[in-house]
């Protein structure tokens, strides 16, 4: 019996050491959410507490990075992904706040060390990397050699990714070359190099797998259904984006949601060939449940099969996949 208790204590300690925990308090005015049920308001409180915990749990690994790089879309996607890894420990307590009509919650939240490692920079190095391509002009050989080094670094870390030099460059940080020289006998440019990789960037398809289609008609067609979810105040909600009309860069569709509420409204889309971004603006309601507002969508189509990005009007991410 003593041996069993000792083993349980060791397991408990080991489990605690694998987690980073914190407690957060969040409050809302119920009058701000007049059409939400009490359960829905509680979900909003928990989500706000998770968001407040980001800096404490992840530190500058996420906060400084997401605030300054890649624009709003990717910043929000990174934060949404980080929030998604935050778990609630135990049962949150809910109570009336100090102000009239205010409700609050105290929430214990945590992430695992494995979650944190995805945001910790990883050093990658190359020793005596050489680039040789007779088709490359001498004036371009240094730049093309760098592209080759970027690709090699990505391949070392995650061999399954097949990226161009330009794509790889976006994912290598703090790149430094040393001991570089040109080998005239082999017509090769050789050097040592070190760089930094952020693992979560390699997991974000927005950064590495955006297909450069010239027309949205290559991907979207009438009567398609793209099915998945979006996250808003009511929580994770089922979503169908039904394509009704496609012409050049213009698209008409419907936004149909179910699960946490049910409704449908029109969407009007514009595809930007330069940025490869597909944005939808909301139109009129087809079926309007009480307490809901229409929302827009901004994102990218990935590998012809996934449309992923952010919902506006204070909501978070969405992801829908082409239904076969």
Sheet of 173-183: strands edge to edge? 122-131, 188-197, 173-183
On whether both 222 and 192 belong to a single domain, the answer is no
pLDDT of residue 71: 36
pLDDT of residue 74: 45
Name residue 191's beta-bridge partners: 129
Alpha carbon 212 to chain centroid, angstroms:
20
In a domain, 7, yes or no: no
On whether both 114 and 125 belong to a single domain, the answer is no
The pLDDT tens digits for 55-114 are 788 776 664 444 334 333 345 556 666 777 788 888 899 999 999 989 999 999 998 888
pLDDT of residue 94: 94
Terminal alpha carbon distance of the chain: 56
Domain ranges, residue 112: 19-118
> Is residue 144 a contact partner of residue 126, using CB atoms and an 8 Å limit?
no
On whether both 45 and 71 belong to a single domain, the answer is yes
The C-alpha atoms of residue 58 and residue 55 are separated, in whole angstroms, by 5
The C-alpha atoms of residue 132 and residue 261 are separated, in whole angstroms, by 60
Angle at alpha carbon of residue 126, lines to 121 and 128, rounded to 5°: 165
The pLDDT tens digits for 245-273 are 887 667 899 999 998 788 999 998 887 76
Task: Give the domain-ending residue among 61, 94, 118.
Answer: 118
In a domain, 10, yes or no: no
Angle at alpha carbon of residue 13, lines to 9 and 15, rounded to 5°: 115
Helix axes 71-84, 38-52, angle to 10 degrees: 110
Torsion of Cα atoms, 280 then 285 then 290 then 295, to 10°: 10
pLDDT of residue 31: 85
The C-alpha atoms of residue 86 and residue 254 are separated, in whole angstroms, by 32
pLDDT of residue 210: 45
pLDDT of residue 54: 81
In a domain, 1, yes or no: no
In a domain, 169, yes or no: yes
pLDDT of residue 227: 96
- Of 40, 45, 43, the residue nearest 28 (C-alpha): 45
> Is residue 315 a contact partner of residue 230, using CB atoms and an 8 Å limit?
yes
On whether both 247 and 160 belong to a single domain, the answer is no
In a domain, 182, yes or no: yes
Q: What 3-state class would DSSP assign to 22? A: strand
On whether both 114 and 152 belong to a single domain, the answer is no
On whether both 140 and 182 belong to a single domain, the answer is yes
pLDDT less than 70: residues of the chain: 1-17, 60-81, 204-215, 248-249, 273-276, 313-314
């Amino acid at each position: 019996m003593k041996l069993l208790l000792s083993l349980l204590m060791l397991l408990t300690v080991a489990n605690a050491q694998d987690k980073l925990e914190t407690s957060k308090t969040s409050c809302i005015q119920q009058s701000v959410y007049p059409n939400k049920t009490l359960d829905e308001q509680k979900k909003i409180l928990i989500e706000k507490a998770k968001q407040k915990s980001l800096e404490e749990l992840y530190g500058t690994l996420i906060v400084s990075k997401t605030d300054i790089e890649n624009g709003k879309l990717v910043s929000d996607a990174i934060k949404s992904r980080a929030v998604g890894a935050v778990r609630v420990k135990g049962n949150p307590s809910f109570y009336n706040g100090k102000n009239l009509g205010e409700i609050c919650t105290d929430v214990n939240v945590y992430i695992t060390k494995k979650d944190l490692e995805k945001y910790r920079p990883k050093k990658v190095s190359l020793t005596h990397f050489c680039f040789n391509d007779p088709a490359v002009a001498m004036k371009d050989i240094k730049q093309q050699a760098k592209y080759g080094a970027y690709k090699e670094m990505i391949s070392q870390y995650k061999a399954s990714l097949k990226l161009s030099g330009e794509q790889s460059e976006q994912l290598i940080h703090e790149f430094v070359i040393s001991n570089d020289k040109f080998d005239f006998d082999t017509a090769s440019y050789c050097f040592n190099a070190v760089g930094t990789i952020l693992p979560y960037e390699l997991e974000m398809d927005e950064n590495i797998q955006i297909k450069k289609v010239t027309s949205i008609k290559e991907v979207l067609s009438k009567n398609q259904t793209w099915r998945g979810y979006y996250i808003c105040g009511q929580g994770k909600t089922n979503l169908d984006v039904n394509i009704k009309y496609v012409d050049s860069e213009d698209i008409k569709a419907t936004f149909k949601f179910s699960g946490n509420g049910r409704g449908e409204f029109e969407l009007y889309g514009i595809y930007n060939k330069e940025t490869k971004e597909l944005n939808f603006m909301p139109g009129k309601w087809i079926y309007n449940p009480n307490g809901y507002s229409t929302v827009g969508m901004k994102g990218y189509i990935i590998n012809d099969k996934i449309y992923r990005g952010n919902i506006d009007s204070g909501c978070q991410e969405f992801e829908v996949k082409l239904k076969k």
